[in-house]
Chains A and B, each alone.
Chain A
């Protein structure tokens, strides 16, 4: 086929499909969250002492941290749907959750005696944490990847990794209300591990499904 022939075929189809990426990603996050919440309701559920927990700084810090990671990640991810995307200042916001967590760890180390550090770090629920977060992240990741197939990301693997990380941080937002371990030492160890699993799965999915 000569290029002129291809152009003739393309020109006969001038009006594109009505695909508005913004609303589509909004719907994807909603659908993914519904799936994650269903899994939460079925298998996880809130911790029994949640009424008292909400009055502690450590408990609330988990949500602030997960949200601070999820928001800029999701916005970055959506931006990458365009091939000429530039991360811009948005990428700098990703420093916030890490700074916040580091500050939490520093304070914890200062106020808790050395003998208790390891106990708090290991906590009670690390196994559950590293399996439940990826499980609840799965529907969110799937929805994000399916929707991103309408996009044209310049770096499919990176874009998938971002989707995995974002879905893990949203899942962590739910999981945090179940987890009895509130110490920043625990959070800074096991949450990132659970998140990295999702990042890896997302990267593989991106490589596989986001080529265009």
Chain B
């Protein structure tokens, strides 16, 4: 555990400075009544608007945390947004591990720390050879650099066509569940289930890309 602690230290310090507000957690009996916890409870009861606002808020905080952690390890900005997206997806898929009697902030922080470390490890593993070795290749004309794609976009390609269609329809095209259901002649429930499965598959694909 000591080894893991050391590795976490960078991200943890960063998260401390980045999100001081949400670190002041203490366990109190009964449901936590800070704004984030309340919003999360509303979201889990089905309030899409509340959930969207909360995720936007969390994304902003996590971005700051990730930026600080990456800067501390001199890693550049390239993969920060991937870390943010991966954190959001993990928050989404692991919501049931949040104890509503605890504040949401420390829980979000723990997930962000875990995912930021993952992203930093992945980036470290991807370190490229000196550029001199590739000069000839770089000079040749290229259609599209696959590495320019964000991780999320590349992982989307691992979804089934139907899953990809639904995710794109709701995210990129901003369609509602109802509109998507009508277009694909599916029931709304079926679209919701398919969306949920697609998000789970996206999480699994992300995990495999680390292993």
Contacts and interface: CB of A to CB of B under 8 A. Distances in A.
Given A1-B85, A1-B156, A211-B207, A82 B107 contact: yes
Interface stretch (B28-36, B109-117, B130-138, B140-148): B109-117
B207 A212 contact: yes
Interface string B42-68: 011111111110011001000000000
A17 B97 CA distance: 11
A3 B88 contact: yes
Interface string B143-170: 0000000101100100000000001001
A154 B114 contact: yes
Interface in A153-204: 154-155, 157-158
A54 B160 CA distance: 61
A8 interface: yes
Given A12-B48, A16-B95, A211-B210, A5 B171 contact: yes
A10 B51 contact: yes
A84 B106 CA distance: 6
A158 B48 CA distance: 36
A81 B195 contact: no
Contacts of B99: 82
B90 interface: yes
Interface residues of B, number: 56
A42 interface: no
A82 B97 contact: yes
A152 interface: yes
B111 A6 contact: no
A104 interface: no
Q: How large is the interface on A (under 10, 10 to 19, 20 to 34, 35 or more residues)?
A: 20 to 34
A89 interface: no
B38 interface: no
B89 interface: yes
Nearest to A82: B97
A120 interface: no
A27 to B, nearest CB: 15
Given A3-B59, A14-B47, A21-B96, A8 B170 contact: yes
A1 B172 contact: yes
B37 interface: no
Contact of B192 (A7, A13, A81): A13
A154 B113 CA distance: 9
Contacts of A83: 94, 97, 107, 110-111, 114
A9 interface: yes
A11 interface: yes
Nearest to B102: A84
Given A1-B85, A1-B171, A14 B94 contact: no
B1 A155 contact: yes
B81 interface: yes
Contacts of A212: 90, 93-94, 114, 203, 207
Contacts of A21: 96-97
A110 interface: no
A150 interface: yes
Contacts of A157: 4
B97 A152 contact: yes
Interface in A4-42: 4-21
B110 A6 contact: no
16 contacts: A1-B171, A4-B56, A7-B56, A8-B52, A8-B171, A10-B55, A12-B192, A15-B44, A16-B95, A19-B96, A82-B98, A82-B107, A84-B110, A152-B94, A154-B114, A155-B1
Interface of A: 1, 3-21, 81-84, 150-152, 154-155, 157-158, 211-212
Given A82-B98, A82-B107, A212-B203, 20 more contacts: A1-B171, A3-B59, A4-B56, A7-B59, A9-B167, A9-B199, A10-B89, A10-B199, A11-B49, A12-B48, A12-B192, A13-B92, A14-B43, A82-B97, A150-B96, A151-B94, A152-B94, A154-B110, A154-B114, A212-B90
